[in-house]
Amino acid sequence: MTAKTILKIQDLTVSFFANKKLLPAVDGISFELKEGEILGIVGESGSGKSVTSLAVMGLIPMPPGKIEKGEILFEGKDLLTYSEKEMRKIRGNQISMIFQEPMTSLNPLFTIGDQIVEALRLHTKMPKAEAKLKAIELLKLVGIPRSEAIVNEYPHQLSGGMRQRVMIAMAMACNPRILIADEPTTALDVTIQAQILDLMKNLNEQTNTSIILITHDLGVVAEICDRVLVMYCGQIVEHGDVHTILKEPKHPYTKGLLKSVPDLLGKKDRLYSIPGNVPRPGSIKQGCPFAPRCDERIAHCLDVLPSLYAMESAGHEVRCFLHEQEGGVRSNVGMAP
Ligand code: ADP
Ligand code: MG
C-alpha cells in the first residue's frame, strides 16, 4: 500500500535581498512528504534547510526574503496563496515546528504548564482546567517524569533535554499532521540526543504524524528516517530511501557527509570533514555548485549544472554527471515520488 502524499513542494525558490540583489537560498527544490513518513533533510550549515522549513511554515521574513516561485501543496492546497490569518490556523495546529534551542522558544516568565495550556487554547476552545490536565498527559507522552509537578515549574528549572521534550509536547499538543524538527538534537549530548530521536520515532508510530527532520548529521538520519534529501547550496543533490543513500551514496557530497559520520563507516579514529566551505548563495555563477570542492570532478562540472538523474533503485535520484548514464532515465520534474 502506498501512503498518501500530505505535502508536495514544487520547484520552490526562496531568495534574500543582499546588496540590492536577490540571491537564492533555496533554488528550485521539489519533494514530497508521505503520510506517516519521517523525511530527513541533510546538508552542511547554509545549504537552505531552515529556509525550506520556514517557507512551509509561512515564516520567511519578507523583506529581506522573497518567495520567487513554486508551490507548497498541503493536502493539495497551495499554502503560498494563504493569508497570514489562514496560515495562523495551520501553524501549530496542522503543521508544527520545533527548533534547535528550546530556551529561546520557551518563555522564561511562564510555567511549563501555562505555555502548553496556551498552545492548546490557541487552536481549541478547551477550558483551562481541561487544558491543564491535557498538558500533564502530553508531558507524560513525551516521557517527562513527575509531570504533575513539572507543569508548575519554569523553563530554567529543567535540563536541556527536558526542555526539548517540553517543546515536542507543545508541538504535538494539537495532533499536527506534520511535525518539522529543525536540528532538534544538535544542542544536546549524545545520550539525550538518542532519547529525543527515540521519542520522535515513537510519536510518529503512535500518532502517524509525518515528520521532517532537519539535521547536518547523517548519523541522525540513519537513526530514524525513512527517506532523505541531501541539500547543497539550496539545491537537492541526492535523494532516496535511507538504506540506499547510506549503502550506495552516489553524489560525491553525500559520500563526504557519510565519511564525516565516524560510526557509520566504522572509522572511529579521526573525524573527516569535507575540505572547503559551502559557497555563499549567488557566488557560483555556473556549473555544479559542489564542483570546486569535489575530488571526483570532471571537465564540464565547472561549466554545466547537472540535472537530477534517476538511478536504478526506485525514487533514488542524483544530481551528478558521473551518474548521467547509470539509471538511463533522466528525471524531468526533479523528483520521482
Ligand atoms: P541551513 O539551515 O541549511 O544551515 P539556512 O536555510 O538557514 O541554512 O540558510 C541558507 C542561506 O540563506 C544562508 O546561507 C543565507 O545566505 C540565507 N539566509 C537565510 N536567512 C536569511 C535572512 N534572514 N536574511 C538573509 N539571508 C538569509
Ligand atoms: Mg538551519
Which CATH topology does 5-332 take? Rossmann fold (3.40.50)
Spatial strand order of the sheet with 77-78 comes to 21-34, 5-18, 65-74, 77-78
pLDDT at residue number 268:
54
Q: Which residue has the higher pLDDT, 187 or 307?
A: 307
Pocket test for ligand 1, best of 12, 14, 16, 57 (most atoms within 8 A of CB): 16
Could you tell me how far CA 271 lies from the centroid of its own chain?
24
Q: Is the dihedral of CA 152, 154, 158, 161 positive or negative?
A: positive
Cα–Cα dist 149/151, whole Å? 6
pLDDT at residue number 336:
40
Q: Which residue has the cell 564542483?
A: 291
> Which H or E run includes 129?
helix 128-141
Ligand nearest to the CA of 15: 1
AA letter at 274 = I
Residue range 85-109, pLDDT digits in tens: 999 999 989 999 998 776 567 899 9
CA dihedral 318, 319, 325, 331 (to 10 degrees): 80
Residue range 125-134, pLDDT digits in tens: 889 999 999 9
Pocket test for ligand 1, best of 41, 50, 217 (most atoms within 8 A of CB): 50
φ, ψ at 241 (rounded to 5°): -75, 155
Ligand nearest to the CA of 19: 1
**pLDDT above 80 (res 263):** no
Tell me the whole-structure pTM to 2 decimals: 0.92
